[in-house]
Amino acid sequence: MDLKWLEELETKIHDASEEIRRLRQENRELEQRVAQLEGELEAGVDDDGAWQDERQEIRRRVAKLAEDLEELLEQDDDAGSDD
């Protein structure tokens, strides 16, 4: 009885199992990479939020300084008109 077909089947099964092992390993590596990139993205979003907060604070403070300067100029104008 010719068992060549059985040897070919064994070879195909062995090759398929090796490919499955390789793909599983690649999948684990890709999952780790995705987790790493998601972490970096989240950190970037947090940084962007902090940057936006800082920008808003600067705007608020500059606006307050402008108001203070306007008040000083008005007071100076009022004092000058009394002369």
| pLDDT surpassing 70 at residue 82 | no
Asked whether residue 30 is assigned to any structural domain, the reply reads yes
Q: Which domain holds residue 33?
A: 26-83
Asked whether residue 21 is assigned to any structural domain, the reply reads no
pLDDT tens per residue, range 52-80: 889 999 999 999 999 999 998 888 888 77
pTM for the model: 0.52
pLDDT tens per residue, range 18-39: 999 999 999 999 999 999 999 9
The mean pLDDT of 13-17, rounded to a whole number, is: 96
Asked whether residue 66 is assigned to any structural domain, the reply reads yes
Range picked from 2-11, 36-45, 71-80 for highest mean pLDDT? 2-11
Asked whether residue 15 is assigned to any structural domain, the reply reads no
Asked whether residue 56 is assigned to any structural domain, the reply reads yes
Asked whether residue 7 is assigned to any structural domain, the reply reads no
Asked whether residue 76 is assigned to any structural domain, the reply reads yes
Domain count, the chain: 1
4 half-sphere exposure, CB direction, 13 A CA radius:
1
Long-range pairs, 10-16, Cβ under 8 A, ≥24: none
| pLDDT surpassing 90 at residue 42 | no
Asked whether residue 18 is assigned to any structural domain, the reply reads no
